[in-house]
Amino acid sequence: MNSAKTLLPLLSALLWALPVAAEGWAETAGAGRAVAQARLPAGFQLSLYTSRTPDARSMALGDDGTLYVGTRDQGKVYAVRDHDGDGQGEQVITVAAGLNYPNGVAFYQGALYVAEVQRILRYRQIGADPAHPPRPVVVYDQLPHDIHHGSRYLRAGPDGKLYLGIGMPCNVCLPPREVYGSLARLDPDGTHFEIIAQGIRNSVGFDWQPDTGALYFTDNGRDRLGDDLPPEELNRLEQPGQHFGFPYCHAGQLADLQFGQGRSCREFTPPLWRFPAHAAPLGLRFYTGASFPAAYRGQLFVAQHGSWNRSVPQGYRVALVRFEQGVPVSEAVFVDGWLNRDGHALARPVDILQMPDGSLLVSDDMNGAIYRIRYGG
């Protein structure tokens, strides 16, 4: 009888652990299939950096090489470390939990910044001991609270300011307040908040072009206009104050049926490049490394998360936008194989990050994984 009483708690704990173990196994298996099915140009290899980051979204790199990964539904921020330099993140630490869609992460001057839906947090000197992070400080808490398009993308810009996207709380509507549908920036201490661009439905990725310093950002077009309308956008911010058309004009060429009356697309800044409709372009990076062939230097890699409301799915890949004399001239598939013939997705890329050795990391929120792309070897 006493033995039975002793075994019952152990059996109960094992039964509770089974779903967790099964979920972790499923994510690892899914990431393995994504690696096996990935197709890249000759000479490039894709491997698994880690599959222990459920809901992996935006990424930022610390001074010591620690990778910080934001999430959405999980409410967590991870720190991933590759201690032995073998191209795999063998240590994964949960830095924070219980947050409100902490999609955006940025690293600046030893501090980790995390963008929740409604605020931005700062963790000072996070690299000293990610397993026991300092108590976060709220640096800004005046962001909209809407969950719809509330996943903030956050980056530290070359000017030392924090940049973030603030999406519209709808499929298509007029902005309830000026801050909706914008790109904004502020000082790392939370002061000098300013809107620098408007007319943006939902940008979840941007980067600065190396040669010009211009800010490029993706924007996801509205839904429910059919399979092929409107195109998704790649935009360039020339100067603060530009308006990119939403909700009046889509992709610089299509007046909205409801809100475009009496407006002209010529009033607004058109995109520099148009992606296929519903491909959902998110994170992007201009390549500045030296380990890829020279033809890739200065070119733009874009994570296309994939469609959810198209009769024939598309996206679910990493695209390469080629530039000549500072402007985009073509788009090609760089990583695919993540969409079966039956339309079943094997991976959904979210963000792209360049590592010091010139390799690229790609996050996948479907499998909770980070993939590493390298050339040669």
Taking a C-beta distance cutoff of 8 angstroms, is the pair 126, 95 a contact? yes
In Å, what is the CA distance from 311 to each residue of 215, 242, 278, 314, 343? 33, 34, 11, 9, 10
At 173-184, the pLDDT tens digits run 999 999 999 999
% of the chain beyond a pLDDT of 90: 90
Q: Kindly report the average pLDDT of the chain as a whole number.
A: 93
CA 76/CA 73 separation, integer angstroms: 8
Amino acid at 173: C
Sheet with 242-243: strands ordered across? 154-156, 162-166, 182-186, 194-198, 242-243
Domains along the chain with CATH numbers: 18-375 (2.120.10.30)
Characterize the bridge pairing of strands 67-70 and 77-81. antiparallel
Which pLDDT tens digit goes with each residue over 19-77?
334 445 556 889 999 999 999 999 999 999 999 999 999 999 999 999 999 999 999 99
- What is d(CA 271, CA 236) in angstroms, rounded to the nearest whole number? 7
